[in-house]
Amino acid sequence: MKKYIVFAIVFFSLMMESQTFDIVPLGIYGGEEEDNLSSYLISKHNANQFLALDAGTINAGIKKSIEKGTFSVSRDVVLKDYIKAYFISHGHLDHISGLIINSPADSKKNIYAITFVQDIIKKHYFINDTWANFTDEGVAPIGKYTLKNLDTQSYTEIPETGLKIKAFELSHTKDYKSSAVLVNHNNQYVLYLGDTGADRIEESKDLEILWKSIAELIKKNSLKAILIEVSFPNNQPEKFLFGHLTPNLLNEEFSKLAKLASKEKMKNFKVIVTHRKPTGNNPEIIKKELLQNNSLELNYIFPVQGEKLSF
């Protein structure tokens, strides 16, 4: 009996140690459902010190997370105290509208983005014509948010989170940039991609550069998961993708990654599918198409708003 108890303690402590990150999806879709748009809170495990990866939906996602028992504090505490900073992948509203609408209720924090995205935020959103200027620069600044430039060469530390992030540029239709971040805690990693097209369609090398940078981490088992978009089912014509992926295009890209990281290391690798466009039955069709044609044997995870993922 004693032996089993010792075994159980060792087993559970190993289980606990193997978890590095918590992710709370505040919104999972890529349009239409204004109360459930792209936003994923990430923290080191059990710390509630989150960086928001995009901010399409904030308040409705916090509300849902409390209903689901993910958080046992008030909405105000999650917004003001638990969320320490934002990363905005690109300038489209389904990735930033929650931040804008909730800015009057928010606390002082940093917004991290590549220069291209910062310029959109400064030129189009916090300009008083569309919304009061909650940043600390430009015309009549309220001073709540500080825009911080993200480097593509080195890591930027996010205060109060224990996380460091490094950015990668993505192509989201020609001449329109989106971005990804590699999140690092104690040399364990999660990769989050904003909206992106496939290299072949975009005539880009952005994903190739990204895959080359992370392949080594997959080989070393230190990349825990990738969050990546699959916006449309396979029947979406290539000329109407608007800088997005389908299940077939995701396979096309992941087979390139598998060549670099080895098929064996990709087996059971966690892929969190983001940004399905919710028109009609598309989310279910996308799910079916990914699961039916999964020759790399990836572990596809379809996030649910408000339900915490730990790994």
The closest of 110, 96, 27 to 55, measured between CA atoms, is 96
CB of 12 to Zn ion, least distance (A): 39
Please pick, from the candidates 92, 185, 224, 265, the single residue that binds Zn ion as defined by CB under 5 A: 92
- The 3 state secondary structure assigned to 5-42 is HHHHHHHHHHHHHCCCEEEEEEECECCCCCCCECEEEE
**Per-residue CA distances from 134 to 18, 47, 104, 143 (Å):** 39, 28, 8, 6
CA torsion angle 145 105 304 167 (round to 10): 0
> Least CB distance from residue 108 to Zn ion, whole Å?
27
User: Least Å distance between CB 262 and Zn ion?
Assistant: 31
Residue 156 CB neighbours (<10 A): 17
Smallest distance from Zn ion to CB 43, Å: 23
Work out how close the CB of 202 gets to Zn ion at its nearest, in angstroms, rounded to a whole number: 13
In the shown chain, the binding pattern of residues 237 to 276 toward Zn ion, with x for contact by CB under 5 A and - for none, equals ----------------------------------------
Largest separation between any pair of C-alpha atoms in the chain = 70
Q: Which is nearer to Zn ion, 30 or 98 (CB)?
A: 30
Q: Which stretch binds Zn ion (CB under 5 A): 66-74, 93-101, 120-128, 294-302?
A: 93-101
How far apart, in whole angstroms, are the C-alpha atoms of residue 5 and residue 56?
A: 46
Helix, strand and coil in the chain, % to nearest 5: 35, 25, 40
In this chain, which of 20, 24, 28, 30 binds Zn ion, going by CB under 5 A? 30
* Part of the chain binding Zn ion (CB under 5 A), chosen from 85-93, 138-146, 163-171, 259-267: 85-93
195: contact with Zn ion by CB under 5 A: yes
How long is the chain? 311
Asked whether position 94 contacts Zn ion by CB under 5 A, the answer is yes
Least spacing, CB of residue 178 vs Zn ion, in Å: 6
Contacting residues toward Zn ion, per CB under 5 A? 30, 92, 94, 195
